[in-house]
Amino acid sequence: AAAGILCYVGAYVFITYDDYDHFFEDVYTLIPAVIIIAVGTLLFIIGLIGCCATIRESRCGLATFVIILLLVFITEVVVVVLGYIYRAKVEDEVDHSIRKVYNRYNGTNPDAASRAIDYVQRQLRCCGIHNYSDWENTIWFKQTKNNSVPLSCCKAALSNCTGSLTRPMDLYSEGCEALVVKKLQEIMMYVIWAALAFAAIQLLGMLCACIVLCRRSRDPAYELLIAGGTYA
């Protein structure tokens, strides 16, 4: 179950990142998500080893389970550290790339950047970088010369909005940069919290396995059975 949830969290980060990748050029941000998917896959195998070792009362199997679980625990600690590092870098990365993306916007022949901007503005209910007036500095706005912003800036409840700057009350007033930063930081926090939660579960698993190992090593009946003897 833990493995499945970890893989889901990693996949969610990949899917969501794909919607915002134009605003965040550093692909290394996906490293925590890659690691957490790998950990989830490995954790499923480790869980099976632990279950089999416990059922068969194998000291060797339990010892292997504890060692591998310890390595996974260390990996998840690394994920948490990387998550915090990249979470801190999000704001600088978005600030560096968002103006380039808006300048590449082409409403008449939508490319990847145009679709990304329209998606973000509709999804996050924002317009422009800091507000809708930022569109006045873009190449697209100067070429169209109709004093309008993209329709994705229009409030969802309005059906007759044309994006005209003469009716600013029809447009989203909040800029997209702060909301994109917030969204990406939230995504990274999902990874951090998932890694922390399952690191705690793994600590509990290691503790339980160690208790079983200690009890088996102190059980004289168990030792005689292993040696092929009898116990009265």
pLDDT computed for residue 221 by the predictor = 47
Residue 59 pLDDT > 60, yes or no?
Answer: yes
SS3 71: helix
What is the dihedral sign for C-alpha 90, 96, 99, 102?
A: negative
What phi and psi, each to the nearest 5 degrees, are found at residue 171? -105, 155
Read off the pLDDT band of 149 (50, 70, 90).
very high
DSSP-derived secondary structure letter, 164: B
pLDDT computed for residue 24 by the predictor = 66
Read off the pLDDT band of 175 (50, 70, 90).
very high
Cα 141 from Cα 86, distance rounded (Å): 34
Least confident interval from 11-15, 27-31, 153-157: 27-31
Least confident interval from 9-13, 198-202, 205-209, 227-231: 227-231
What mean pLDDT comes out for the span 141-170? 88
Class of domain 87-231 as given by CATH = mainly alpha
What residue spans define the domains of the chain?
A: 87-231
What mean pLDDT comes out for the span 151-166? 88
How do residues 189-204 score in pLDDT, each as one tens digit?
888 888 888 788 778 8
What mean pLDDT comes out for the span 82-87? 81
Most confident of 28-32, 108-112, 177-181: 177-181
pLDDT computed for residue 14 by the predictor = 75
How do residues 210-221 score in pLDDT, each as one tens digit?
777 777 655 554
Nearest 5°: CA angle at 70, between 40 and 220? 120
State the average pLDDT for the chain.
Answer: 79
pLDDT computed for residue 135 by the predictor = 93
230 compared with 122, residue with greater pLDDT: 122
Residue 47 pLDDT > 80, yes or no?
Answer: no
pLDDT computed for residue 232 by the predictor = 40
Could you tell me the pTM of the whole model? 0.72
| Look-up of token digits 């009265």 | 232
pLDDT computed for residue 80 by the predictor = 84
pLDDT computed for residue 126 by the predictor = 93
Q: What percent of the chain has pLDDT over 70?
A: 84
Cα 140 from Cα 135, distance rounded (Å): 8
